[in-house]
Structure 1
Amino acid sequence: MSNRIKPEVLAPAGDFERLQAAVKYGADAVYLGATSFGMRANAGNFNEEELRAGVKFAHEHGVRVYLTCNILPTNEEADQLEEFLLRAADAGVDALIVADVGILMMARRLVPQIDIHISTQTGVVNYLTANELYKLGAKRVVLARELPLETIREIRRRTPADLEIECFVHGAMCMSFSGRCLLSNYLTGRDANRGECAQPCRWSYYLMEEKRPGQYFPIFEDEHGSYILNAKDMSMIDHIDDLVDAGITSLKIEGRAKSAYYVSVVTNAYRQAVDQYVADPENYHLAGWLAEEVYKVSHREYCTGFYYGRPDQCYLSGGYVRECDIVAVVDHCADGWLYGTQRNRFAVGDEVEILEPGQPPYKLTVAEIRNGEGESVPAAPHAMMAFSMPCPEGSFTQGTIIRKKKTD
């Protein structure tokens, strides 16, 4: 039990809105990308000015910022690396997430004040590699996603105590070895190692025999067909105690391309789960409402990744399940009324949930809606419209989420 520490909750921040969501809902740290050298081309990412503002905002709220620099750079990109690293230092980021030994060594020489985290793209699967990277100056290793808990426990036991260990605990699983995949590049010309993956592993496939063109034969797995490359999503919300006991320093939530709603809900769930564990580790039991929260965002079927064995495949086309929609965000409350900004349509009579950071969802039936002019209306149908509604039971802070269960 000597491995027990309070782990960091590390949340994704694809843009400034998602950064704010992560901070508001309890992240200890965020990881984000600039407009180059990162592995998520489809995320919003941060230009130089936005990066500086994002770091300032996070630091004002006691949250650390880790900048991705985890592509495998071409010669041309390597020529631009020095300027990138100096800009990162100027912005005040707390750590660089790197996968390439050349980037690692240049960063140690050029910006030694910034911590180095070794990306999961490096594929660290044993204590030997972790120790050598530590000797080269790494502060943290982000282990490959393919490791069981017992292997992680052994890595922790055989590495220096001040080498931090980070592991993914929630989100999408790549079918390849920690993202080293050429399938997207081969089929679509979009390079996964440049952050442009088209996710062809999520597609359904049929076989066509050479002499029977146009005849497609399914590879049967069940009544839905076969999705032999389509992994389920990972969720370890029910196993915080095992993660801590294995000596994991940082619990990483996947999803820089996910919505601010996703970031808010999942970050909040892991924040509360960690805090509940730390408060009473000997009698830890995850609150039921927290176990339900991760099902209220868009997700594939869940599994526990490789932590307890082999993960399962997702047999649904596309695979995504979405049980709830965000319908509004709170601006402020006053005199028994809630004032907010609409995100998706909702109407009088709908039952909604208000998710305040650190609190169980508060259920409320919408008794009345008024538009920005104070006129009573049957629904809030227009995106970003100002509205108000009675909320006599509570006062909620700015940015709090209002959602409702999908009915279609």
Structure 2
Amino acid sequence: MAKKRTIVLAGGGHTHALLLKKIQQSPLHNTHIVLLSTTRYTPYSGMLPGVISGHYTAEQAHIDLQQLAWDSGCDFIEGSVRQANPDTQTITTNTSETISYDILSINTGSTQSRLVEADHCLRIKPVHQFFHWLYREFPERLNTYSTPFELVVVGAGAAGIEVAIALKHRYKNKGVNVHIASGGSILPGYPASIQRSVLNELDKKNILIHRNFRATSVEAQHLISGSGEQLHYDQLILATPASPDLWPSESQLTTDVHGFIVVNDCLQSLSHPNVFAVGDVATRASKELPKCGVMAVRQAPTLYANLRNSLSGAPLIPFRPQQHFLALLSCADGRAIASRGSFRAKGRLVWYWKDWIDKKFMHQFPLPEPGSFDYL
């Protein structure tokens, strides 16, 4: 009998979650599959603004990866990649455990670049740290303020916009002023009509936009721009563009100038054909794709097919991204904004549509039991 081959899934992102669901339905025979994830519970990005605004519980917006792995006949290890050596086909975890593989798939996501190590400066990733601040630290701090609390979100992409709107909704009438510091236009890459619609929403909600404020440093709870402007904050939240972990660029894997793993159209590393990378951690050599949850979800069927084909020696298939994908932005008040190609929509029906899509996605997976999070 042929020796079992080991597939290591590094990271518990959206692509790997859907991959495990597919493996549960159609197992990859004669394989030993290991999922390595920094946390047992992985957040679904589409519902996180709804958790902040109070529309969902944290449990509703997280997948129980350990249970999902077990249901799929796979092992689960809680930990992170500290080092990868694709030449020896091993990865080393943060606990110094060495794991050997025949095939490695990487879906470790991204983080936000930190301006500086400053007091009251928080990234929205890792999500569990952000939620600990949201549920525990921030309410305690807010109770000590007699003057308006100045909360500044750095970054005006979809994540920054939705987080700012959700925070404003959660703390309306509680003395919290929400600002967005943007280095350029809001929602870069979105149609101008959507940008105008969102600006109108921000204005209605009294969320202050500081455009052309390219933050470069922090000094005594003041955000400093490249031109020397200052913006006072009591809490700084970074929702800046995706930034990779350091370990990919420190391995022998081919990475781009930013440190993202470069893959071909089949989601395969350019330098090591038995390594695949998907989601935010990867960048495609032929054409860069948006780093968003929709793209990661769409990559799952192609990744499954190419893992199966790698095992059998069959040709790999290319990932064919949609030319236009659906973008849904929550207004945190029972309305949402939709955009796809030339299609635009806004209102309560769009929120119900978004809510249905998100709940349908999460219905595929095991969710955490109530009381699973220590910050609640």
**If the length of structure 2 is used for normalisation, what is the TM-score?**
0.34
- Taking structure 1 as the reference length, the TM-score comes to 0.32
Q: Which has the larger radius of gyration?
A: 1
